[in-house]
Homo-oligomer: A and B are copies of this chain.
Amino acid sequence: MKTTPDKQAFILHLGEMGSRWGINRTVGQIYALLYVSQAPLNAEQITEALGLSRSNVSMGLKELQSWRLTRVQHLPGDRREYFTAPDDIWDILQILVEERRKREIDPTMSMLRTALMDGGTDDQSAYAQQRMQDMLDLMELVTGWLNELAELDRKTVIKLMKLGRGVKKLVTPTRSRPRHPT
């Protein structure tokens, strides 16, 4: 592996990070490398940089493309494919959230709806049914909200986040405006 020690540490860490989140280590490493590389990289360069087999890199890149996390481009006079990560890390975050929702949260909500339709109505089932309903409600609320946030412009989202707890004053209707606001 031939990179500067700081990139190195970053790549290895994101590999570990990946495995803890159900993404395989080498896919994490490949993405970390693309993320910190200004120039697009081809598969051969990734293979060299990370010391993986060519075929493993090929599979990793496929995986990353299926997640929409990389862009492919061609350099003039070079028939190989070159890969990059999006420039804007907010785009990356948004894609990650969307794909995880599509792949994992949506199917879970379907399962819950089915279980709630088919489940018994007797006392024996009542508690479990209520719990599943609670989970479904929570998922609907949170994913719906993330959807809406994604449609806002970035500046607004940042402003909202920087507000922190301060948002309470905005969303809580007051009967009459206090004379001496804190």
Contact = CB atoms under 8 A, between A and B. Distances in A.
A13 interface: yes
Given A22-B21, A111-B13, A119 B156 contact: no
Interface in A124-174: 124-125, 127-129, 131-132, 134-135, 138, 141-142, 144-145, 148-149, 151-152, 156, 158-165, 167-168, 170-172
Nearest to A111: B13
Interface stretch (A3-11, A48-56, A57-65, A67-75): A3-11
Contact of A138 (B93, B125, B171): B93
Interface residues of A, number: 62
A144 B163 CA distance: 10
Contact of A10 (B132, B148, B156): B132
A78 interface: no
A82 to B, nearest CB: 16
A6 B161 CA distance: 39
Contacts of A93: 138
A136 B161 CA distance: 15
Max chain B CB contacts within 10 Å: which of A108, A125, A148, A163?
A: A148
Interface of A: 4-7, 9-10, 13, 17, 19-22, 35-38, 89-90, 93, 103-104, 108, 111-112, 114-116, 118-120, 124-125, 127-129, 131-132, 134-135, 138, 141-142, 144-145, 148-149, 151-152, 156, 158-165, 167-168, 170-172
